[in-house]
Structure 1
Amino acid sequence: MNIEILGFLAGIMTTSSFFPQAYKIWKTKNADGISTTMYFVMLSVVCLWAIYGFLINSTSIILFNIFTLIIILMILYFKIQNKDSI
Structure 2
Amino acid sequence: MNEIIANGFGVAAALCSITSFAPQMLKIWRERDASSVSLKTYALTVSCFALWVVYGVMTGAWPVTFANSCALVMSAGVLLMKWRFGREPDA
* TM-score over 0.5 (shorter chain): yes
Deviations 1:56-77 (A, max 9, x none): 2122211111111111111111
Structure 1 gaps of 5+ residues are none
Question: Any idea what the Cα deviations from partners look like across 1:16-62, whole Å, max 9, x if unmatched?
Answer: 11111111111111111010000000011101111111122122211
Following superposition of structure 1 onto structure 2, how do residues 37-76 of structure 1 map, counting pairs within 5 Å? 37-76=40-79
Larger Rg: 2
Secondary structure in 2 aligned to 1:72? Answer: helix
Deviation at 1:84, TM superposition (A): 7.3
Paired residues, number: 86
Return the TM-score normalized by structure 2: 0.80
Q: Would you say the 8 A contact 1:49–1:65 is kept in 2?
A: yes
Conserved 8 A contact 2:34-2:87: no
Q: Which one-letter code corresponds to 2:62 in the other structure?
A: T
Equivalence for 2:84: 81
Assess, with a 3 A threshold, how the Cα gap between structure 1 residues 56 and 66 changes in structure 2: closer, same or farther.
same
CA distance in 2, matches of 1:51, 1:18: 21
Match of 1:28 among 25, 28, 31: 31
**Percent identical across equivalent pairs?**
24
